[in-house]
Amino acid sequence: MSDTFTILAIFAHPDDEIGVGSTLAYYSAAGVRTVLACASRGEAATIYCDECATRENLAEVRTHELECACQQLGITELRWLDWPDGGIQNLPRAAAVAQVVALIRDVRPDVIITHPENGLYPHPDHLAVWEITRAAFDAAAALPEDGEETPGLSEKAGVSAAWAAARLFTRALPQSFFDAAPEFAQYRVQLNGQQLPFIGTPDAEIDVIMRVAAGTPKRQAAWDCHRSQHNPDSAFARMPDGLRIEMAENEHFVLAAARVPLPDPAPDRVGSDLLTGLAGADAGPEEPAADPAALAALRTALSAQRVYLKVCEEYARHSSKPPFAALARDLAQTHQEAIYLLAGALRRAGQVTGEVEADARTAAEGLRQPDLPARIRFLSTGAEWAIAAYQAQAAVDTGRRAVWEELVTLTGAQLEAIRAFTGGTETL
**The total number of structural domains that make up the chain:** 2
Q: What is the pLDDT of residue 236?
A: 72
Residues 347 and 412 in one domain: yes
> pLDDT, tens digit, for every residue of 287-324?
445 578 888 999 999 999 999 999 999 999 898 899 99
pLDDT in tens, 237-249: 777 777 788 889 9
pLDDT above 70 (res 131): yes
Please tell me the distance from the alpha carbon of residue 194 to that of residue 123, in angstroms, as a whole number. Answer: 10
User: pTM for this structure?
Assistant: 0.68
Same domain, 381 and 247: no
Structural domain contains residue 277: no
Q: pLDDT grade, residue 195 (50/70/90)?
A: low
Average pLDDT, the chain: 85
The pLDDT of residue 262:
84
Calpha distance 315→323 (Å, rounded): 11
Task: Specify the pLDDT at position 343.
Answer: 79
Cα distance between residue 251 and residue 171, in whole Å: 8
Identify whether residues 42 and 162 lie together within a single domain: yes
In a shared domain, residues 236 and 351: no
Residue in 167, 88, 166 with CA at minimum distance from that of residue 128: 88
* Residue 321 and residue 197 share a domain: no
In degrees rounded to 5, what are phi and psi of residue 178? -65, -35
- The pLDDT value recorded for residue 337 is 83
Q: What is the CATH number of the domain that holds 124?
A: 3.40.50.10320
How does pLDDT run across 349-380, given as a tens digit for each residue? Answer: 766 666 678 888 999 999 999 999 999 999 99
Q: Is the pLDDT of residue 69 over 90?
A: yes
% of the chain residues with pLDDT over 70: 84
The residue type at 278: L
pLDDT of residue 249: 93
Residues 6+ positions from 306 with CB-CB distance below 8 Å: 335, 339, 356, 357, 358
Name the packing angle between helices 372-396 and 322-348 (round to 10°). 20
258-287 tens-digit pLDDT: 988 887 665 555 667 999 888 754 444 444
Amino acid at 283: A
One domain for residues 228 and 316: no
254: region left, alpha or beta (phi > 0 left; psi from -120 to 50 alpha): beta
- Residue 239: CB atoms within 10 A of its CB come to 19
Q: Is position 346 within any domain? A: yes
Range of the domain at 35: 6-258
- Same domain assignment for residues 236 and 172: yes
Please give, one letter per residue, the 3-state secondary structure of 203-237.
HHHCCEEEECHHHHHHHHHHHHHCHHHCCCCCHHH
Q: Is the dihedral of CA 14, 15, 21, 25 positive or negative?
A: positive
The mean per-residue pLDDT over the stretch 209-221 comes to: 93
Do 297 and 246 share a domain, yes or no? no
Residues 39 and 183 in one domain: yes
Which amino acid, 196?
A: L
Average pLDDT of the segment spanning 112-139: 92
Write the pLDDT tens digit of every residue in 176-188.
887 877 776 666 6
The answer on 390 and 312 residing in a single domain is yes
User: What average pLDDT does this structure show over 217-237?
Assistant: 88
| 283 lies in some domain | no
In angstroms, the CA 50 to CA 58 distance is 11
Query: Is the residue at 276 inside a domain?
Result: no
CA distance 105 to 138: 12
Q: Alpha-carbon distance 301 to 411, whole Å?
A: 12
How many C-beta atoms surround the C-beta of residue 399 within 10 A?
A: 13
153-to-97, 149, 283 alpha-carbon distances in Å: 10, 8, 22
**Is the separation of the CB atoms in 1 and 32 below 8 Å?**
yes
**263 within a domain of the structure (yes/no):** no
Give a yes or no: residue 286 inside a domain: no
Given this model, what pLDDT does residue 267 score?
53
Residue 184 lies in a domain: yes
Decide if pLDDT at 426 tops 70.
Answer: no
